[in-house]
Amino acid sequence: MMKKSYNWILKQLPYSEPFLFVEELLNINDKGAEGKYTFSSDADFYKGHFKNDPVTPGVILTECCAQIGLVCLGIYLLGQKTELENVGIGMSSSQMEFLLPVFPGERVRVVSNLIYFRFQKLKCEVKMYNEDDKLVCKGVLAGMIGIANE
């Protein structure tokens, strides 16, 4: 069976290195998204978080969950059939619980489940797992997504 390509979604993301936290989309449909990301061992934020024992900051874990679980899903829901231009995105709320650390070089998997998408507001439940399939963090994220005016 041929793997489905989600490159059209990745091309629409309004992020680039070093602030792109989506490496691969595994699955995406009307009910949620699933993707992976590997945290590079030489990312700048590890240099000061924490001295001699770096871990990925919670805000970066939240951003990874938002990019995969909220933004990629929103782009899919907005433009399943057409290529989008000027996607506008804004986070409106986040409630996250952190359970395990993510160390430099670790690969994570994010799974989101749609709570609702109406009036350009998207709300999802997100979960992040490490390579041992242990729950790293979970929460509820919401944001506004639509086609921005020029």
- pLDDT (0 to 100) of residue 73: 95
Number of domains in the chain: 1
Q: What is the pLDDT of residues 108-127, one digit of tens each?
A: 999 999 999 998 899 999 99
Residue 126 in any domain: the answer is: yes
pLDDT level of residue 106 (50, 70, 90 thresholds): very high
67: phi then psi, degrees, rounded to nearest 5: -65, -45
Q: What is the pLDDT of residues 9-48, one digit of tens each?
A: 998 898 999 999 999 999 999 999 999 999 999 999 999 8
Looking up residue 46, the CATH number of its domain turns out to be 3.10.129.10
Q: Identify the CA nearest to 148 among candidates 60, 87, 73.
A: 87
Instruction: Report the pLDDT averaged over residues 126-136.
Output: 98
Q: Give 67's contacts (C-beta < 8 A, 6+ positions apart).
A: 13, 15, 20, 21, 22
Q: Is 50 exceeded by the pLDDT of residue 81?
A: no
Q: Give 118's contacts (C-beta < 8 A, 6+ positions apart).
A: none
Q: How far apart are CA 138 and CA 128, in angstroms?
A: 6
Residue 1 in any domain: the answer is: no
Q: Is 60 exceeded by the pLDDT of residue 82?
A: no
Q: Is 60 exceeded by the pLDDT of residue 2?
A: no
Residue 37 in any domain: the answer is: yes
Q: What percent of the chain has pLDDT over 90?
A: 73
H helices within 18-147, ranges in order? 58-66, 73-78
The whole-model pTM stands at 0.92
Query: CB of 19 within 8 A of CB of 77?
Result: no
Identify which has the larger pLDDT, 9 or 3.
9
Averaged pLDDT score across all residues of the chain:
91
Residue 2 in any domain: the answer is: no
- pLDDT (0 to 100) of residue 79: 80
Domain range for 86 = 7-147
